[in-house]
Structures are given as C-alpha cells and as structure tokens.
C-alpha cells in the first residue's frame, strides 16, 4: 500500500480526523457517510466488514445504526483512535476493531453481508486482487469509492503524501467484470477536489459546495467528478 509507513505513524493518527474532517472537510465527511448509508440501507442487523477503517468514521456510524461491524486496519494507531470514539457512544449494534492486512483478510468465504472500503481503493497496489479478496468474504454486497482520472484531483495528486491511483469509469467496469460483481449504482460527486474543502472554513466551503453540486448535476460534467461511489452485488 502506498504511504504505509506515513499512515501508521502515531502523530498522523492523532491528527487524521482534525486535518481531514474539520472546517470544510465536514462537508466531505457528511457526503461520504450519506453515500455509504444510501448504498447499504437498511443497516440494522447487517453483518458488515469495513476494510481500512482508519479511525472508525464509518464503522462507528454503522454500529450506531444497529449493524454488527468489524473494522479492520493495518495501523494500530488508527485503531486506537477508533476505540476512543466508542467510549462514550451508545451502539445499537456491535463493533470490534481488528488489525489486519486488506490483501489477506482473516475471515472465511462468504462471511459478511456487506464489505465496504472507503478512502482505500486508490491506494491498492493490486486493485483486482483487493477486489477479489473483498468479494471472497462477502456474500451479498461490496461498496467502495474511487478517485477519478479525468478530474481536478489529477492536478495535485503527485503532492499527496500517500499518492493516489486514479481510475476511469471503464477501468472500474473491467475490474467488476473480472471479479464477477454486478454494478447496482454509481454516484459521481465533487467537481472541486477534496483538498480545496479541507483548506477553507465551513463558511466558505458551504457556498462552494452549493455551486459544485449544481454544476455536478449537469450531464456533461459527469466525467469531471473527483470521486465515484460504487455499490455492487455479488453474483
């Protein structure tokens, strides 16, 4: 995985949420959570694996909504931050954090209803192998996101500490076909890249987001979206 040493550092884990999901980044956090919930609903009583769960943003949210969740990540420091989040939270479902490798999942075949991987697919060294492994442990559904090749993200991608692998829609379609997954839905969003929102206060980010959404609804701008949220089913 790209930037693995950087990602596992204690100081990175401690500041991860504040740097990415404060200020205008709150808009990103809300939109990503909305995309996950829309794909999975109803959440209650589902058995869910989140791969590369980081500090547990999605794992905690899903457990609060009544799912039984395992959050898996390679970084012990990130997992510790996730556990701290659950100390004062009443969970309707269950939540367990485990350290593990996304490329070699420590679970039997067909073990989960749903497997999600947000903010990770762009870092996978072997995207087909990673998707195959997700499919192996899921009996129903796989949800993930990709950063898109023909978007503003490509302008600053080289400067990111973890880098990114950018995808075209056709590349993802080929991966789904190779791994025997059926596309249920894909949503494209954020003409303006994530980095812009994270760098400005919410008071400025909100009107920019309103314009971004309006422009994004035009069919001609689909290929310019920075991110795509993919909802797929196991055949």
Quick check: helix, strand or coil at residue 149? coil
Quick check: helix, strand or coil at residue 227? strand
Determine the pLDDT at residue 28: 92
C-alpha to C-alpha distance for 216 and 224, rounded to whole angstroms: 8
57-64 and 25-40 helices, crossing angle to 10° = 50
Query: How much is the average pLDDT of 92-97?
Result: 96
**Tally of structural domains, the chain:** 1
Query: 115-144 pLDDT, tens per residue?
Result: 999 989 888 889 999 999 999 999 999 999
Q: How far is CA 126 from CA 52, 102, 129, 133, in A?
A: 15, 11, 5, 11
Residue ranges with strand state E in 148-223: 181-189
Residue ranges with strand state E in 155-200: 181-189
Q: What is the CATH number of the domain that holds 187?
A: 3.40.50.150
Q: Using 50, 70 and 90 to split pLDDT, how confident is the model at 5?
A: low
Lowest mean per-residue pLDDT among 4-18, 40-54, 104-118: 4-18
Please tell me which residue, 220 or 165, carries the higher pLDDT value: 165
Query: 156-204 pLDDT, tens per residue?
Result: 555 555 567 889 999 999 999 999 999 999 999 999 888 888 889 989 9
Annotate 169-194 with b (16+ C-beta within 10 A) or e (fewer). beebeebbeebebeeeebbbbbbbbb
Range of the domain at 58: 4-234
222 pLDDT above the threshold of 80: no
Determine the pLDDT at residue 10: 52
Under 8 Å between Cβ of 210 and 190: no
Determine the pLDDT at residue 157: 59
Determine the pLDDT at residue 2: 47
């Amino acid at each position: 995985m790209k930037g693995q040493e950087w990602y596992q550092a204690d100081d990175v884990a401690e500041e991860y949420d504040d740097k990415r999901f404060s200020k205008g980044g709150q808009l990103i956090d809300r939109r990503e959570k909305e995309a996950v919930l829309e794909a999975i609903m109803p959440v209650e009583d589902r058995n869910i694996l989140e791969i590369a769960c980081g500090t547990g943003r999605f794992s905690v949210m899903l457990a609060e909504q009544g799912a039984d969740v395992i959050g898996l990540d390679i970084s012990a420091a990130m997992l510790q931050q996730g556990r701290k989040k659950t100390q004062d939270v009443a969970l309707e479902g269950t939540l367990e954090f485990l350290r593990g490798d996304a490329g070699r999942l420590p679970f039997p075949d067909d073990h989960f209803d749903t497997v999600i991987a947000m903010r990770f697919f762009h870092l996978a060294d072997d995207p087909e192998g990673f998707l195959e492994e997700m499919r192996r442990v899921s009996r129903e559904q796989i949800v993930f996101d990709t950063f898109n090749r023909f978007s503003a993200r490509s302008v600053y991608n080289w400067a990111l500490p973890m880098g990114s692998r950018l995808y075209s829609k056709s590349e993802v379609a080929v991966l789904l076909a190779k791994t025997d997954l059926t596309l249920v839905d894909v949503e494209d969003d954020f003409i303006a890249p994530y980095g812009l929102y994270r760098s400005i206060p919410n008071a400025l980010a909100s009107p920019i987001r309103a314009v971004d959404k309006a422009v994004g609804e035009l069919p001609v701008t689909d290929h310019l979206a920075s991110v795509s949220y993919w909802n797929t089913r196991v055949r």
